């Protein structure tokens, strides 16, 4: 499938997901509003019936019930302008709310009609008829009264009444989550496929040079051996040996990386002299640094001994030094330091090379990733070096961090347990 087709499919999936989110949100809001409206209507009818009962109980009252006032989203004010006993209000509220399946917890307050001063109140959490009320205080004179109802946790109650809608919403959210996961997986898979493609192309390109050199050198030895002196023969043999080692190194790195990822690699943890290991690595790169008129300095202040796998730690140090050299356009300047930090040993390898662009920094430990400019990779490599380094450090229960700035250089800091 072409990249264009994949992008169109992903775009359509994203638009579909966004549309589902918006549609579900819209209808859920509409359903909630409708549920609230129905609830308010039932409450309004119940309160009018309660007010009607209270008026009928006041023999000397001839006024009519005024409209119920909704003073807040969860608050209703009832103007009765009559006198009623507290027990009668309490029981009538329970009866009318029970008839209409209004099971929400609520408070009520009794107020003086002339100035709406609160006389007393009560809380009802379950609609069960009681012979006595929680409030025993009473008023002596018969004074016209009003009352107010306040519902506790009204939104929660309404959501509890919308179980089918909640179930459908959760189902849609889960479905959208699955779609999102699929999209992310496709994007990651596509990215990994592109990185692997680059890796194969880079490796194929790198194979060509040593294979060509081996072919030329072996043909020369085979066809012109009788005409060669011993020095020339040794040079051709050295070329073959060097290029063979180069191919072997690439194959081993790829196989080792794969086996370590699958936990098939057996590590030999033992006491090793880290300082000597670093010096041996520096010695290996000495001729290359000298050839480029570079400088490599050591400042080894930590304890020498750590527990680790000598071969893999050597490869780790070699990779970091090799990167510091490769990514320095001018004379490479590299500094290696070690320090003790509590129960850890800090190994720092810094250079004054090109640095890593900010937009590329989050990717440098990804497998097959190599920094590039446009569509052209600036430096030869396979994209396994830093991912291999990070994997080895994690296998040693350590951590790695770095700081980098374009034109200034890069510093890698590795923390390993002692």
Give the pLDDT confidence of 155-188 residue by residue, as tens digits.
888 888 777 777 777 787 787 778 778 777 877 7
**The length of the chain, given as a count of residues:** 418
Looking at 19-33, 79-93, 250-264, 401-415, which range is the least confident one? Answer: 250-264
User: What whole-number distance in Å separates Cα of residue 282 and Cα of residue 299?
Assistant: 13
pLDDT score for 128: 41
User: What whole-number distance in Å separates Cα of residue 347 and Cα of residue 396?
Assistant: 14
Give the pLDDT confidence of 238-293 residue by residue, as tens digits.
778 877 876 776 676 666 666 665 565 567 889 999 999 999 888 878 878 888 88
CB atoms within 10 A of CB 27: 14
User: What whole-number distance in Å separates Cα of residue 177 and Cα of residue 167?
Assistant: 15
DSSP H stretches of helix in 79-162 = 86-99, 154-160
pLDDT score for 381: 45
Give the pLDDT confidence of 42-91 residue by residue, as tens digits.
999 999 988 888 887 766 555 567 788 888 888 999 888 788 887 888 88
Domain boundaries, the chain: 12-161, 164-261, 270-417
Architecture of the domain whose range is 270-417: 2-Layer Sandwich (3.30)
Give the pLDDT confidence of 303-350 residue by residue, as tens digits.
888 999 888 898 889 889 988 988 888 889 999 999 998 889 999 999
CB of 111 closer than 8 Å to CB of 118: yes
Specify the CATH number of the domain 164-261. Answer: 1.10.287.130
């Amino acid at each position: 499938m072409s990249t264009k087709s994949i992008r169109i499919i992903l775009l359509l999936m994203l638009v579909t997901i966004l549309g589902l989110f918006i549609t579900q949100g819209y209808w859920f809001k509409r359903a909630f509003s409708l549920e609230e409206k129905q609830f308010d209507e039932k409450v309004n009818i119940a309160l009018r019936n309660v007010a009607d009962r209270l008026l009928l109980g006041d023999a000397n009252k001839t006024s009519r019930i005024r409209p119920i006032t909704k003073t807040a989203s969860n608050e209703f004010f009832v103007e009765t302008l009559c006198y009623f006993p507290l027990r009668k209000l309490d029981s009538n509220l329970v009866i009318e709310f029970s008839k209409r399946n209004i099971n929400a917890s609520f408070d009520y307050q009794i107020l003086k009609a002339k100035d709406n001063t609160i006389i007393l109140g009560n809380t009802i959490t379950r609609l069960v008829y009681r012979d006595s009320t929680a409030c025993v205080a009473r008023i002596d004179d018969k004074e016209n009264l009003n009352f107010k109802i306040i519902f506790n946790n009204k939104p929660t109650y309404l959501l509890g009444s919308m179980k089918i809608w909640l179930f459908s919403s959760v189902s849609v959210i889960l479905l959208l989550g699955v779609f999102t996961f699929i999209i992310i997986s496709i994007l990651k898979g596509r990215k990994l496929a592109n990185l692997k493609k680059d890796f194969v192309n880079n490796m194929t390109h790198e194979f060509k040079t040593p294979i060509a050199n081996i072919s030329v050198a072996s043909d020369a030895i085979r066809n012109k051996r009788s005409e060669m002196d011993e020095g020339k023969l040794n040079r051709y043999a050295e070329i073959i040996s060097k290029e063979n080692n180069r191919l072997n190194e690439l194959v081993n790195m790829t196989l080792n990386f794969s086996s370590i990822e699958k936990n098939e690699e057996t590590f030999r943890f033992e006491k090793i002299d880290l300082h000597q290991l670093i010096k041996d690595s520096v010695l290996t790169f000495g001729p290359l640094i000298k050839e480029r008129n570079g400088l490599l300095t050591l400042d080894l202040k930590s304890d020498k001994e750590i527990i680790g796998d000598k071969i893999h730690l050597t490869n780790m140090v070699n990779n970091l030094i090799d990167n510091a050299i490769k990514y320095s356009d001018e004379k490479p300047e590299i500094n290696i330091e070690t320090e003790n930090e509590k129960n850890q040993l800090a190994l720092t390898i810094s250079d004054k090379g090109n640095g890593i662009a900010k937009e590329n920094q989050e990717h440098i430990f990804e497998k097959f990733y190599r920094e590039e400019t446009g569509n052209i990779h600036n430096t030869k490599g396979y994209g396994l070096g830093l991912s291999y380094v990070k994997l080895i450090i994690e296998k040693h229960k350590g951590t790695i961090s770095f700081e980098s700035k374009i034109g200034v250089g890069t510093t890698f800091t590795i923390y390993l347990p002692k």
